[in-house]
């Protein structure tokens, strides 16, 4: 298995874990008799756990090596997918989701940092396609979860089997990951790495794209139901169209970046997404709105992946840079659905999606922050040996 195929499989596995768990949340709520408010608090523990874990991920990768950190953390993420449904009581769900979030966030950081290092070695963009495979893994596992729920398969059995299967795949993928180069003379990342000013500028681009992604994914079906009087099937189709066009664009994104460059790609994406936002806001029929959501998905697809790649070149180490931007994008995905919901309630759904349109325009304006910078200097043992002594 080549290094590229190995990290591609890691991204697909990470997405599959997320997709598998999300489909069994209703089972979790019914099994533990959780009120909507309690379920919301339980689910909030996952991003909290991610926020706690992500800033420490680069330090872990430095200590044990990026390859080993990726192998261990992706395996842990696979194993933990079944933990919430196996808990003996509802109180145990809070620490379970905290641990799940920490595993999700730290594995996200180290696998993206590993991808940045491999991308630099290959001399071409690969990260957009890797995020596309994450979406493919999530959609495929989500489809399996929907079938399992439809046929009444107990979530404990379903997720335990999924955990073992994905664990086996993760171990196979781990053997093909890029080996770490010996490094000396490079300072260790901070124990708790918050974004620097330069990384924050890159992170704002990812923040805008992730905000539009999170808001659209959570509100697309509701929007066409409330504004365009769509039925349940058409509403579900609108969400699916958004996700499929975004995933498809990510799979093709590296070719586009290779032709246009990261800055021009994100700026063009901002224009496409803004046109989609106008269609969503102005449209009053399901298919016009669905076309708008498709364009939003196309326009924002590669902004976050390219922000990770740029951060990996900007930070004192790839892991520290990616950790900073990932923290920003997780914050965006957490607050976006709530802000759009508040705006829709206080004003209207079209007014709320006008805000999204303005945000994707801002994404294009800020795209200059992704301009390539000098690579983070590393000193290998071979280089060190060639230097004259003191």
**304-356 tens-digit pLDDT:** 999 988 888 776 667 677 878 888 888 887 788 888 888 888 899 999 999 99
Residue 191, domain member (yes or no): no
Residues 269 and 157 in one domain: no
pLDDT score for 259:
93
Residues 155 and 253 in one domain: no
Give the percent of the chain with pLDDT over 70: 90
- The structural domain count of the chain equals 2
If you average pLDDT over residues 271-298, what whole number do you get? 95
Of 140, 175, 210, the residue at which a domain comes to its end is 175
Residues 77 and 171 in one domain: yes
Residues 27 and 116 in one domain: yes
Question: Can you give the CATH number for the domain in which 319 is found?
Answer: 1.20.1250.20
If you average pLDDT over residues 183-207, what whole number do you get? 71
Q: Is the pLDDT assigned to residue 117 strictly greater than 90?
A: no
- Nearest Cα neighbor of 193 from 376, 328, 378 is 328
pLDDT score for 40:
78
pLDDT score for 315:
62
**9-23 tens-digit pLDDT:** 999 999 999 888 888
Residue 71, domain member (yes or no): yes
Which band of pLDDT confidence, cut at 50, 70 and 90, is reported for residue 374? low
Q: Is the pLDDT assigned to residue 384 strictly greater than 80?
A: no
Average pLDDT, the chain: 85
pLDDT score for 235:
86
Report for 61-70, 71-80, 372-381: range of highest mean pLDDT: 71-80
pLDDT score for 375:
46
Residue 13, domain member (yes or no): yes
pLDDT score for 64:
83
pLDDT score for 14:
94
pLDDT score for 194:
59
Residue 381, domain member (yes or no): no
Residues 240 and 311 in one domain: yes
Residue 337, domain member (yes or no): yes
If you average pLDDT over residues 174-193, what whole number do you get? 67
Which band of pLDDT confidence, cut at 50, 70 and 90, is reported for residue 385? very low
Residue 190, domain member (yes or no): no
Residues 99 and 235 in one domain: no
pLDDT score for 192:
53
**33-74 tens-digit pLDDT:** 988 778 878 888 888 888 888 878 877 877 888 889 999 999
Report for 63-67, 109-113, 331-335, 378-382: range of highest mean pLDDT: 109-113
Q: Is the pLDDT assigned to residue 357 strictly greater than 80?
A: yes
Residues 154 and 53 in one domain: yes
Over its C-alpha atoms, the chain yields an Rg (Å, rounded) of: 21
**227-271 tens-digit pLDDT:** 998 888 888 788 888 989 999 999 999 999 999 999 999 999 999
Q: Is the pLDDT assigned to residue 390 strictly greater than 50?
A: no
If you average pLDDT over residues 163-187, what whole number do you get? 82
Residues 153 and 73 in one domain: yes
Residue 185, domain member (yes or no): no
If you average pLDDT over residues 268-279, what whole number do you get? 97
Residues 134 and 219 in one domain: no
Residues 309 and 214 in one domain: yes
Give the percent of the chain with pLDDT over 90: 46
- Nearest Cα neighbor of 73 from 177, 189, 182 is 177
Residues 257 and 142 in one domain: no
Residue 186, domain member (yes or no): no
Residues 150 and 240 in one domain: no
If you average pLDDT over residues 146-174, what whole number do you get? 92
Instruction: Note down the domain range covering 124.
Output: 3-175
pTM: 0.81
pLDDT score for 376:
45
């Amino acid at each position: 298995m080549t290094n590229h195929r190995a990290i591609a499989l890691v991204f697909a596995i990470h997405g599959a874990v997320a997709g598998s768990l999300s489909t069994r949340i209703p089972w979790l709520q019914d099994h533990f008799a959780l009120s909507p408010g309690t379920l919301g608090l339980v689910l909030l523990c996952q991003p909290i756990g991610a926020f706690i874990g992500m800033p420490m991920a680069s330090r872990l990768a430095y200590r044990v090596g990026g390859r080993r950190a990726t192998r261990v953390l992706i395996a842990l993420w696979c194993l933990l997918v079944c933990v919430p449904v196996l808990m003996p009581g509802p109180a145990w769900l809070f620490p379970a989701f905290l641990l799940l979030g920490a595993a999700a966030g730290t594995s996200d950081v180290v696998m993206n940092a590993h991808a940045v290092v491999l991308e630099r070695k290959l001399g071409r963009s690969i990260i957009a396609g890797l995020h596309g495979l994450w979406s493919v893994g999530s959609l495929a596992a989500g489809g399996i979860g929907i079938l399992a729920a439809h046929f009444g398969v107990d979530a404990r059995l379903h997720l335990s089997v999924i955990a073992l299967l994905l664990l086996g795949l993760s171990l196979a993928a781990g053997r093909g990951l890029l080996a770490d180069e010996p490094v000396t003379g490079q300072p260790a990342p901070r124990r708790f790495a918050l974004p620097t000013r330069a990384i924050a500028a890159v992170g704002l681009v990812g923040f805008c794209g992730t905000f539009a992604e999170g808001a659209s994914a959570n509100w697309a079906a509701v929007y066409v139901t409330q504004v365009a009087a769509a039925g349940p099937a058409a509403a579900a189709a609108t969400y699916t169209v958004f996700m499929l066009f975004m995933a498809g664009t990510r799979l093709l994104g590296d070719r586009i970046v290779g032709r246009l460059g990261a800055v021009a790609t994100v700026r063009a994406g901002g224009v496409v997404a803004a046109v989609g936002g106008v269609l969503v806001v102005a449209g009053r029929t399901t298919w016009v709105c669905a076309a708008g959501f498709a364009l939003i998905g196309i326009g924002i697809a590669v902004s976050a992946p390219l922000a990770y790649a740029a951060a990996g070149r900007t930070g004192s180490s790839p892991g520290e840079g990616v950790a900073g931007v990932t923290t920003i994008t997780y914050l965006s995905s957490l607050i976006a659905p709530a802000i759009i919901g508040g705006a829709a309630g206080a004003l209207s759904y079209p007014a709320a999606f006008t805000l999204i349109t303005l945000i994707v325009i801002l994404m294009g304006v800020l795209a200059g922050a992704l301009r390539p910078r000098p690579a983070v200097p590393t000193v290998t043992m071979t280089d060190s040996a060639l230097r004259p002594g003191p």
